[in-house]
Homo-oligomer: A and B are copies of this chain.
Amino acid sequence: MKFSIKKNIILEQLTNVSKAISTRNIIPILNGIKFELTSEGLYLLASDSDLTIKSFISNKDIESIDEVGSIIIQSKYILDIIKKMPSDIINFEVVDGLKIMIYTETSQYNLNCLNSLDYPKIDLSLNEKYVSLTSSELKKMIKQTIFAISTQESRPLLTGLNIKVNGNILEVVATDSYRLAKKTINLNSTYDNVVDIVIPGKVMSELDKILDDSEENVEIHIFNNKVLFKYKNILFQSNLLNGSYPNTDNFIPTEFLHVITANLNDYFSSIDRAALLTQSKEKNIVKMDIVEDEIRISSYASEIGKVEDRIKIKRNSNEDCSISFSAKFMMDALRTLESDEIIIFMNTDSKPIVIKSATDESLIQLILPIKTY
């Protein structure tokens, strides 16, 4: 294998595929990135056996292909080596069978490699039919839901995103059982099969880093036990989490005693200020009182002091009410909303709080209150 390539081109694709390398990997060869040079171009592939990323650089984007071939290069230093190279064009050449020489006129690395024949075979074939949405839609969908997944390995399914497709409706749910985020997307075309899968949260975080905020199409190929995202010249394949995700539809109330409209920034800042005095505690609980045309957010820490913050609101009822919740959970939820005004839906102090943007029905944020007495 011998070729020359522009630094920024190889760096971009190595950065993409290296997201599949796990630091907790115990299979040595999976710490490497597979380089496969053909006359069509260069394929890069990395995998931690749950997540596999493959990228292709066309021969049009390669300065010269002098000898085709393939090899496994250790991933640990490769990104830094490329970044620190002193010239725009970098040369790669396999020497002595299992060593790669990466060099410019004045710098030369000789790295030990592994044989590409020892790399596991990974099936990355596509389906005929797939779900399709834009990169920016998918990116936004991940951002608006993923924070609500569980970090507790005791309920593994809740560490993933539940994705359902039915006709032309795609629905994503994340919940850690104390809060829930649900996003609905209208697809441009109908998908024939009914889908109900759970994709690991950490995989979706890595996918988010690879996606641009663009109108470029992403194809989602869904299989029994895996899902494959095709984006530009990248294939991104993950195993699914096994089991049936809880039915979350009846978690979300549909009738409410209190419907309150507030300014998003004011409400966020108000909770942020009240949360300050409780930040050292595990559950940073703040209290929200709805009194006349005001929300009053307060918190109290016996050793430090207390804080109360007021904002003006519009509301549908005159009855005062009072509810306590985690400031962190509320701020996480508010960060996903994009309008100036938000709507807060509540019943009693023991029933879920639902928060929506005033202008976007596609996203629902839900938080359970915390009993403080």
Chain B residues within 8 Å of A269, by CB: 84, 86
Report the Cα distance A108→B99, complex, angstroms.
Answer: 67
A304 close to chain B: CB less than 8 A: yes
* Chain B residues within 8 Å of A341, by CB: none
Say which residue of B80, B106, B110, B307 sits within 8 Å of A109 (CB atoms): B307
Using Cβ atoms and an 8 Å threshold, which residues of chain B touch A80? 276
Nearest opposing residue in chain B for A100, CB measure: B305
In the assembled complex, the Cα of A369 lies from the Cα of B279 at a distance in Å of 49
**Residue in contact with A276 in the complex, picked from B77, B308, B310, CB distance below 8 Å:** B77
Chain B residues within 8 Å of A306, by CB:
109-110
Interface residues on A, range: 20 to 34
Check B273 against A77 for contact (C-beta < 8 Å).
no
Q: Tell me the complex Cα distance, A307–B84, Å.
A: 12
Interface residues of A in 243-273 (CB under 8 A from B): 269-270, 272-273
Are A111 and B304 in contact, CB atoms less than 8 angstroms apart? yes
Across the interface, name the chain B residue whose C-beta is closest to A113. Answer: B305
Check A305 against B273 for contact (C-beta < 8 Å): no
Closest Cβ–Cβ distance, residue A155 to chain B (whole Å): 34
Determine if B305 and A111 form an interchain contact, defined as CB atoms under 8 angstroms apart. yes
A270–B108 Cα distance when bound, in Å, is: 11
Q: Is A337 an interface residue (CB 8 A)?
A: no
- Cα(A289)–Cα(B305), bound, Å: 65
Across the interface, name the chain B residue whose C-beta is closest to A300: B110
A sample of 13 inter-chain contacts (CB < 8 A) reads A77-B277, A81-B273, A81-B276, A84-B273, A84-B276, A86-B273, A106-B310, A107-B307, A107-B308, A108-B307, A108-B309, A109-B277, A109-B307
Other A-B contacts than A77-B277, A106-B311, 19 sampled, CB-CB below 8 A, are A76-B304, A77-B276, A77-B304, A84-B269, A84-B272, A84-B276, A85-B273, A106-B309, A107-B273, A107-B307, A108-B308, A108-B309, A109-B305, A109-B307, A111-B304, A111-B305, A112-B303, A112-B304, A112-B305
